[in-house]
Chains A and B, each alone.
Chain A
């Protein structure tokens, strides 16, 4: 139960805490618990793969588990692991194939069958694993052909589950290294699926077709008619799957039809998710196979208008980039662009139509860039269109910015326009600050035509801009400022750091007073920090590195403070701290000063500044107009999706721009602010960036350190436990084996036969022991030379273990040593070892050991080993399972004695047990207890009975029974609570069994 919970609601942080517990459970004797433990580990693997890395060999053990359920559970893990790294598990292919063979061959227990198909879930799991393993690997695939063929053949009954298996088979066959025979069969299967009248099967068939079709397009030809039928199927999922097929078989010739179909579906569909994926596919197809420009633009228009704002941002970005970069052929470029402009103009002509924002953005960009290409259209018309758009309420401010940019661009190559004047007037008083800023920009640009022309050259959207990111041209200015006595510029974080350290120092004072002896050496820090600062001021202010160093030293000092021993005046620190403060303040001043100073005093710098400014603006505008805010990402992301028809002009350039674009991203933000602000803000940004980059590695290293630590602790914790478990695991198979064979008081003919077949003869007990109650003689272990048998004799004062060693060889064995190891629960009365000096050929020797139970447990294992002299020093290990009942003897007493004893005993345990119909009366129930548990019935009074027994040598336990309405109330009392508990457990077991 707990394991179920574990695998359902487990947070990553708690895994190390419970992992050892769960690992323990992997060795549990019950299948269900082992299985659940494996499941829990699987869950852990999904959550945090590296935390369970060290127990991969345990998974292997689970795979070889005797129980099918456990094995099946371990397959989940393997599927996941193989998905990650298929090459690491190639060696397991054979065992997977073996398992599958067994499963398909019906070797599993019958209750794993599902509608007479053997363990379908297991089969499918295995098929998937095989598919992953055999992918692109002829050698491993070789191993699987047989079994795949076999499972194809077996899965013939008409039932869903067999279809499911078939489907999986087909998938596997197509993923592994192909073999023509199998492919043929698989194709036949697919045909069956597709033609099936059952809708579910049809869907599955289509699905497998989509997987297969890239390898074997001919298959689609065979099923042409079905596919066409499916296209008009009322069920949308079938339709979609069909479209998926079509998508995969699209080529230059059929693209128009297919895209048309897809668009039709898109228009009908209302589900957002489907629209996003499908429109993406349409755009991709259109880009790849477009037969002509007109069609391409139309299709894209349709995609934009249908897709709406849910579209993936890559789609419009890609589209615009295509337009901007164009093709190799200049003429074609122009054509495409003109066509686009015209189509957008006609679209915009229609009043009161609603277009998605993204579409509008695309339109405005295209119009802004290329409207002049359409020479017969008056720019005034375009401007009015755009203007009317701006006034619409559904247009978001983001889109408005795009439109404004377009207007600005158009304005740059039209002489003068009323619409623009109107527009400027209108938006200069707009409530939207963004719009107002744009309007002002436009106004000022219009006043300076030359600048405007420079700023907005025609068709320059894909030219590269070079930006001096380090702003080195400002160095001179900074140096001058410094020489005039200004404090060096410090980045924001540094100032904060300083402030923090000061605060710390101040806060420290009370502590220093109370622990006079351990007052820290804040003096050192006080002295050091100014030097650090002056050092910083020597190198010019833009070196972020020194700043970083300084922060480091500052941090260090913060720590040292606590551990110093000088006891050196906290006061001094506070005075030393003070100079920092004005410096920091002056820093702020400088910042402000820089903003104000340059235009006033230094004329040359003004020019450099304004140049820079211009550059910035240009960048920002292109950034805005051409690429949009996420351009940097999309440019990089889509680089590799090279299209077939449209060739990119300069890939290298593009990567550069994209890199730069991301650099400039922050500058784009800054252009919104007042113009002159840009430089310092930018500078700060840049330095901030550098700083973060510098810090990253250090952060990382500390992270990994922590990780390592976290990783180490559980391991070290686990080590002792692991050893224990190892020893357990070596024992348990033996004990299980023994357990299976030992049967108390019940003759087991099969075991006897078996042993009789294997060995010469089963030894028998000597006369004097024969008369006592004893168990069957069972085999403990054997090798080719020696066989060990055991018989339990329940003597009155102890449990006697009679061990028979039988020599199977034709020669005598010398100095055979039998040793019982020390067990936790049991005590062997004499010495635990026994030596047979010689065992003659084909004969049996016997030794007897008396055992008591030392610590009470319901069942325990007494391990031992036997060795004999020979060249190889062979050593046979065995273990004897002893149960509590072996040590329980009846205790005879009178009712009075019982009463006395009852009162003197303190530990009691009560329990109610349901009585089965067969033992409805008290007396029958008691007699079963007497027989099975060897209890002594002291007395029966009415519906109550009292019983007594003792644990060897003489620990009493009393039992009081009462029956009522089909229930048996048991009440145990004994001086030892564990004994009562153990007996209660035995009682329950006995009552259930009978």
Chain B
């Protein structure tokens, strides 16, 4: 099971975080700080897995953004790497050539996509099309509701 997912930039700025285990806020902050430090300190040539406490961190760098998942020991690391990759693909598909700014400005969308893709720490939908469709559906719903609310009465 994935325990949490963090996205942070090369400067160590946290861009997105998702926790699948409940922890107090203070603890989370501490963990984030710790992990960002560990991962940023690593060489490019080293493997993308790090032991951390009883969990394993699997990270990958896309452009200036690090995607990092914490998984349990018996999980498959390579698979998690591909989960990350698939998520990036989904983002890419949705935003069209995704970049860090997309995630900064449309963080809620990034969260939506993540929710469609992973629920409760397990991959739920590996089909790219259906995930993107679900997100577009919800976008549509949101838009129509907004317009309906904004529209002046006759």
Contacts and interface: CB of A to CB of B under 8 A. Distances in A.
A200 B115 contact: no
A43 to B, nearest CB: 5
A114 B151 contact: no
Nearest to A73: B124
Contact of A72 (B120, B126, B129, B147): B126
Interface stretch (A158-166, A527-535, A871-879): A158-166
B82 A971 contact: no
B49 A910 contact: no
B138 A1 contact: yes
A692 B130 CA distance: 58
Interface string A155-173: 0000011011001100000
B51 A274 contact: yes
A956 to B, nearest CB: 19
B130 A161 contact: no
A73 B120 CA distance: 11
A32 interface: yes
Contacts, number: 123
B76 A167 contact: yes
Interface in B68-105: 76-79, 81-83, 85-86
Given A168-B76, A237-B50, A237-B51, A911 B148 contact: yes
A271 to B, nearest CB: 7
A4 B82 contact: no
B47 A203 contact: yes
B153 A910 contact: yes
Interface in B11-60: 20, 43, 45-54
A234 B119 contact: no
A504 to B, nearest CB: 40
B125 interface: yes
A122 B126 contact: yes
B48 to A, nearest CB: 6
Given A42-B120, A114-B86, A203-B49, A167 B126 contact: no
A204 B123 contact: no
A240 interface: yes
A537 interface: no
A112 B127 contact: yes
B122 A39 contact: yes
A69 B125 contact: yes
Contacts of B124: 35-36, 39, 69, 72-73
A619 B78 CA distance: 56
A240 B52 CA distance: 12
Interface string A189-208: 00000000001111110010
B120 A120 contact: no
Contacts of A39: 119-120, 122, 124
A109 interface: yes
A235 B47 contact: yes
B128 interface: yes
A236 B51 contact: yes
Interface string B113-154: 001000110111111111000100010000010011001011
A960 to B, nearest CB: 8
Given A203-B49, A273-B53, A114 B82 contact: yes
A32 B116 CA distance: 9
Contacts of A249: none
A111 B151 contact: no
A199 B51 contact: no
Given A164-B79, A167-B78, A199-B47, 17 more contacts: A32-B134, A35-B125, A42-B122, A69-B127, A72-B126, A114-B82, A121-B123, A124-B79, A200-B47, A200-B48, A200-B78, A207-B77, A236-B51, A237-B49, A237-B50, A910-B153, A912-B148
Interface of A: 1, 4, 7-8, 31-32, 35-36, 39-40, 42-43, 46, 68-69, 72-73, 76, 109, 111-112, 114, 119-122, 124, 160-161, 163-164, 167-168, 199-204, 207, 234-238, 240, 271, 273-274, 910-912, 967, 969, 971
25 contacts: A7-B120, A8-B120, A35-B125, A39-B120, A39-B122, A73-B124, A111-B129, A112-B126, A114-B126, A121-B83, A124-B76, A124-B79, A160-B78, A160-B82, A160-B85, A164-B76, A164-B79, A200-B48, A200-B81, A203-B47, A203-B49, A237-B47, A273-B54, A274-B51, A911-B144
Interface of B: 20, 43, 45-54, 76-79, 81-83, 85-86, 115, 119-120, 122-130, 134, 138, 144, 147-148, 151, 153-154
